[in-house]
Structure 1
């Protein structure tokens, strides 16, 4: 459903851009005043170029502002990987201790075993 809505919005934007291009075909003078560049361009090209430049600058600005968030995400991913590794190591140690059974010389209800069970 979301893909259909995206296509509908895309088609509406294309229609608007097409209508803008057809309605604004006449040439306008574009100059960068202190510089000696003067161009005669169709108005729709200037409007589309201005929109594209605005989109580009907005994207760059958003990307730069998201730097702290991306840095925090990378830190958290490293921390999660480290904790998963610790968890895996502890799980293996626990499985190994279950296979070995109680330490020789200790009874099943030894203080060491009771401490372990109360800590959980």
Structure 2
């Protein structure tokens, strides 16, 4: 659907440009007054060149203003990739720990720890 709309828009613009070109075929002189440049060209060529330069200037301006946003996006992308890697490592470690624990506790883990120091018990309520 979007492709169809873009084709319709393209055809409408092409018709406007064609009508502009047919209606403005007169030759005009374009000059930059203090400079020694003067060109004779059709009026539609001058209008189309001015439109193209306007679009180009607007695109460059938009690109330059978006520098900060693009830089932040790159930073956030790096952070996301780093966090994805950490998450993957932690998930892997958790699965390994679950696999070790699902096999049952080790036999030594069931026995009380052997210590040489005597146990001191505290009696409450004396």
Consecutive aligned runs of 4 or more in structure 1 exceeding 4 Å deviation? none
Q: CA 1:99 to 1:31, structure 2 compared with 1: closer, same or farther past 3 Å?
A: same
Q: Name 1:105's counterpart in structure 2.
A: 109
Structure 1 gap segments, 5+ residues each: 108-120
- Structure 1 residues 46-73: Cα deviation after superposition (integer angstroms, max 9, x where no partner): 0000000000000000001111111111
CA–CA distance in structure 2, aligned partners of residues 81 and 49 of structure 1: 45
Higher helix share: 1
CA–CA distance in structure 2, aligned partners of residues 15 and 34 of structure 1: 37
CA–CA distance in structure 2, aligned partners of residues 39 and 95 of structure 1: 76
**CA-atom RMSD in angstroms:** 1.4
CA–CA distance in structure 1, aligned partners of residues 88 and 2 of structure 2: 40
Structure 1 residue matching 2:11: 3-state secondary structure: helix
1:27-106 mapped onto 2 (5 Å cutoff): 27-101=27-101, 102=105, 104-105=108-109
CA positional deviation for 1:106:
5.5
- Structure 1 residues 66-108: Cα deviation after superposition (integer angstroms, max 9, x where no partner): 111111110110000000000011011101111111465159x
Q: Give the TM-score of the pair, scaled to structure 1.
A: 0.84
Decide which structure has the larger Cα Rg and report it: 2
Q: Name 1:13's counterpart in structure 2.
A: 13
CA–CA distance in structure 2, aligned partners of residues 39 and 75 of structure 1: 49
Q: Name 1:110's counterpart in structure 2.
A: none
CA–CA distance in structure 2, aligned partners of residues 25 and 5 of structure 1: 31
